[in-house]
């Protein structure tokens, strides 16, 4: 990736705090060699879309189809087209609440990463922080990983540990993990830009 500006598309569904930190860090040159070429959301009212537009970034809702947690074929094709039209090099899922499978995965093979609020492989899927508390884990954290066809199973490329403290609630633990997500995600993207982390073989 060296010497080339990495064009990043961010896929979001809600609040967009990870997205915002990435945009800010690119703006402040803390992630050198990257630009955000597109923000796409599967939720028409995602706060993240408003935030991205405030930064002057091209941001759009794209209809994913009728299902709640996956794309239908036409919806998936709409995403692929928009991402290809934006000449996307890297897709960063940032709170995107939908499984990425088959065609989209194939169109951007090895070029989709995600952040997850646990130390994978522990606590994949929804409510990772709640899972950590129920399991009485002494430690949780966050993970950045490449996306494959499984649920949070792709190759891990960055992790930060966050202790679970006595008296922690889902909300307090989520907040402390989120602070670390914000640091970790930008660090991993910067390592991709510098060539320190390489894309898996196609």
Site residues, ligand GRF (CB under 6 A) = 14-19, 94-95, 115-117, 178, 181
CA 23 to CA 148: how far, in whole Å? 25
Q: How far is the CB of 10 from ligand GRF (least distance, A)?
A: 9
Rounded to whole angstroms, what are the CA distances from 113 to 15, 87, 144, 174?
Answer: 18, 17, 7, 20
Residue 127: active-site member? no
Say if residues 128 and 136 touch (Cβ distance below 8 Å): no
The pair phi, psi for residue 149, each rounded to 5°, is: -75, -10
* Closer residue to ligand GRF, CB minimum distance, 1 or 188: 188
Distance, in Å, from the CA atom of 8 to the CA atom of 6, rounded to the nearest integer, reads 6
By beta carbon distance, the residue nearest ligand GRF is 95
Q: Which is nearer to ligand GRF, 1 or 119 (CB)?
A: 119
What minimum distance in Å lies between the beta carbon of 120 and ligand GRF? 11
Cβ at position 144, least distance to ligand GRF in Å: 9
Residue with tokens 């569904």: 13
Which residues carry out catalysis? 116
């Amino acid at each position: 990736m060296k010497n080339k500006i990495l064009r990043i598309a961010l896929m979001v569904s809600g609040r967009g705090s990870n997205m915002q930190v990435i945009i800010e860090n690119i703006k402040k040159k803390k992630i050198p060699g990257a630009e955000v070429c597109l923000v796409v959301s599967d939720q028409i009212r995602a706060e993240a879309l408003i935030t991205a537009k405030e930064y002057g970034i091209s941001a759009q809702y794209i209809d994913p189809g009728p299902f709640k947690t996956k794309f239908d074929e036409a919806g998936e094709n709409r995403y692929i087209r928009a991402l290809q039209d934006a000449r996307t090099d890297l897709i960063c899922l940032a709170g995107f609440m939908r499984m990425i499978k088959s065609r989209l995965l194939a169109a951007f093979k090895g070029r989709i990463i995600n952040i997850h609020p646990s130390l994978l492989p522990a606590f994949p899927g929804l409510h990772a922080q709640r899972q950590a508390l129920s399991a009485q884990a002494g430690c949780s954290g966050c993970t950045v990983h490449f996306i494959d066809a499984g649920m949070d199973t792709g190759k891990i490329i960055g992790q930060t540990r966050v202790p679970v403290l006595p008296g922690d609630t889902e909300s307090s633990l989520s907040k402390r993990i989120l602070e670390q997500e914000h640091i970790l995600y930008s660090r991993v993207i910067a390592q991709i830009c510098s060539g320190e982390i390489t894309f898996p073989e196609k």
